[in-house]
Structure 1
Amino acid sequence: MKIANTDLRALAVFRAVVEHEGFAGAQIALGLSQSAISFHVKALEERLGFALCRRGRGGFALTERGALVHARSDALFLSLDAFESEVGRLRDRITGTLRIGMIDNTVTDSGLPLPQVIGRIGARAPEARLDIAMADPETLVARLAGGALDLAILPETRLAEGLRLSPLHEERHLLYCGRGHPLFPRAAEVTETAEIARWPFVGRPYANQRELGPFPGAVMPASAANMEAQAMFLLSGGYIGYLPAHYAKAHVAAGDLRVLGTGFPLSSRLLLATRAGMRATPLQDLFLRELVAAIAARADAG
């Protein structure tokens, strides 16, 4: 089978469907209608001569051959990105696409000035394209390892085989409770860990219950995959738990959350993850230089 431009387009749509676990997520990501996505997937299936996925009331699922096509397409699209970057290098221009993954709710973290970095990339490499995807750390690691992302910003994780991890920034987390929680009226006075340990916690699965370390005997009957979900549990008044101080600030100002005691601060290290052994493109190099410089400048400014 000789690959045509229409095949590459259809394959890109198929990859988006897989990465977003169905047609609905791909619709949002690509800005296409469901009928357009169905057209591209069906056209690819007809070109290949076999079904790639099953869709219907039972949900979306890859066929065995579909999973193999998706896996093999990683190398194809990585090669296309590398080719585009190399052509840009020959033209003394920074081109190509940089696919960045990151955890949610970093935009309020002044120590991680990503909006400034994005602006600098746009000014210095106007022909380049940046794609940003938000996900939990486990998903980011899987997508990075599979070639769907070029780099990711995420907290420390045990699932890092085959990745190169570089420290970026320390994020400060404090312990909070929400309005309606029995500790809320006297939150600032609650300093005994034994008293805090009596109440149910909510935490993030990837943190491996690290938040419970200072509170022997505490239990965590609820888990949240991201910060917004964590905040929802706390705002319900039924749980206590940790949030980044920069993210919780607005809820504290609104009177909906309060810091418990001294906050029992924890530090969460954010890392930059890339695939080990992969040569960085000029666009990746530019992004990394701008990111490191922006973080250093914020740290120097205090």
Structure 2
Amino acid sequence: MLGTVTELDLRLIRVFLTVVEAGGISAAQTALNTTQPTISAQLATLEARVGFRLCERGRGGFSVTPKGTQFIEAARRLLAAAEGFRVEVQHINRKVSGSINIGLLGQIDPVANRKIGQAVARLRARHEGLYFHFTELSSSLLEEKIINGHIDLAIGYFWHRLPSIDYFPLFPETQIAYCAPSHPLFEQVGALTREDVSGFDWVWPSHPLPEMPAPTSIERLTVLTDSMDGAALLILSGQHLGFLPQHYATRHEQLGQLHPLNPDLLRYEVSFHAAVRHSARQRDLVSAFLNELIEIFGSPL
């Protein structure tokens, strides 16, 4: 009588069920890809393991015994349970559940946004139980939220390089200086010099990056803001000059609402990074999403 069910027992049970479904040992040879003597030996071994005869076989043909009939039902339930267990374990391994909290700088280039979406899609294709929570934050809040644990990963540009945070470059952004038609310099746009624009008021980021040299004296940086929409409104008012991401200002240019002061001179490039706490990188989900971002942005935009 069986005490424990081994892997060998499972193989022998499958042989027996195949013989039953084929209607005999001879007919099962092709399905099992083995010889009749081998099958007979395997059935005998199984019968020795269970302690009773499962089937009659010989010159009189093949037939299942009454106990064999009961065994067939039990065996099918066993194999179905084993298959269900295998599938469930694979499901556990493939479909990790959990959530990732992401902080994003507002008004990211649509092309870059599409790639971030691709990273999300790739990860959720492997882990359907995974959920993302996206929060739009100003650049001044991204690092703060990372440090205090409110977000797991941030995508933006950062003026600090804090030792407790890892930074991974993703993509560049071009910022260009603009003015509106009502500004006194509008008639001269296109070839203005730094000296030409230094005597006017500017809207300026609250936390400028090292890549962003001030275009005028600090007295002329009369408005400080981390809001891109706020900066655009002030430039559109005709009272201020200011830098905006080129992708953001394109629509205003098409409508004739803004024009670059000198796109070859009054411009700079900033680098967007993914930023994570050292401890957050230990989480499998955060690390997996970070790896997807790095891989996707490693290809041409």
Report SS of the residue matched to 1:116: helix
Instruction: Please give the per-residue CA displacement for 1:70-129, whole angstroms capped at 9, x wherever unaligned.
Output: xxxxxxxxxxxxxxxxx9996342321000001100142448722332333333322100
| Superposition pairs of residues 67-78 of structure 1, within 5 angstroms | none
Letter in 2 for 1:150: D
Residues 159 and 210 in structure 2, CA contact (< 8 A), matched pair in contact too: no
Partner of 1:224: 225
Whole-angstrom CA distance in 2 between matches of 1:143 and 1:111? 21
Whole-angstrom CA distance in 2 between matches of 1:285 and 1:136? 24
Whole-angstrom CA distance in 1 between matches of 2:288 and 2:114? 16
Larger Rg: 2
Residues 106 and 112 in structure 1, CA contact (< 8 A), matched pair in contact too: no
Residues 211 and 270 in structure 2, CA contact (< 8 A), matched pair in contact too: no
CA shift for structure 1 position 178: 1.6
Residues 197 and 215 in structure 2, CA contact (< 8 A), matched pair in contact too: no
Classify 1:209/1:198 alpha carbon distance in 2 versus 1 (closer, same or farther; 3 Å): farther
Classify 1:211/1:107 alpha carbon distance in 2 versus 1 (closer, same or farther; 3 Å): closer
CA shift for structure 1 position 294: 1.8
CA shift for structure 1 position 215: 4.3
| Superposition pairs of residues 133-172 of structure 1, within 5 angstroms | 133-158=135-160, 160-172=162-174
Instruction: Please give the per-residue CA displacement for 1:144-166, whole angstroms capped at 9, x wherever unaligned.
Output: 11111001112122273521222
Whole-angstrom CA distance in 1 between matches of 2:109 and 2:127? 22
Partner of 1:99: 101
Whole-angstrom CA distance in 1 between matches of 2:248 and 2:272? 15
Match of 2:117 among 111, 115, 118: 115
Letter in 1 for 2:272: L
Partner of 2:185: 183
TM-score under structure 1 length normalisation: 0.63
Aligned-pair identity (%): 23
Report SS of the residue matched to 1:179: coil
Whole-angstrom CA distance in 2 between matches of 1:267 and 1:147? 29
CA RMSD of aligned residues (A): 2.7
Classify 1:228/1:88 alpha carbon distance in 2 versus 1 (closer, same or farther; 3 Å): farther
Whole-angstrom CA distance in 2 between matches of 1:291 and 1:156? 17
1:295 aligns with 2:261: no
Residues 99 and 151 in structure 1, CA contact (< 8 A), matched pair in contact too: yes
Whole-angstrom CA distance in 1 between matches of 2:114 and 2:167? 17
1:283 aligns with 2:260: no
Whole-angstrom CA distance in 1 between matches of 2:91 and 2:161? 34
Letter in 2 for 1:181: H
Report SS of the residue matched to 2:160: coil
Whole-angstrom CA distance in 2 between matches of 1:144 and 1:134? 13
CA shift for structure 1 position 199: 0.9
Residues 144 and 150 in structure 1, CA contact (< 8 A), matched pair in contact too: yes
Q: Which moved more, 1:130-139 or 1:118-127?
A: 118-127
Letter in 2 for 1:222: V
Report SS of the residue matched to 1:213: coil
Matched pairs, number: 212
Letter in 2 for 1:292: I
Whole-angstrom CA distance in 2 between matches of 1:288 and 1:112? 16
Partner of 1:246: 247
Whole-angstrom CA distance in 1 between matches of 2:90 and 2:229? 39
Partner of 1:193: 194
Return 5+ residue gaps in structure 1 as ranges. Answer: 1-86
Report SS of the residue matched to 2:166: strand
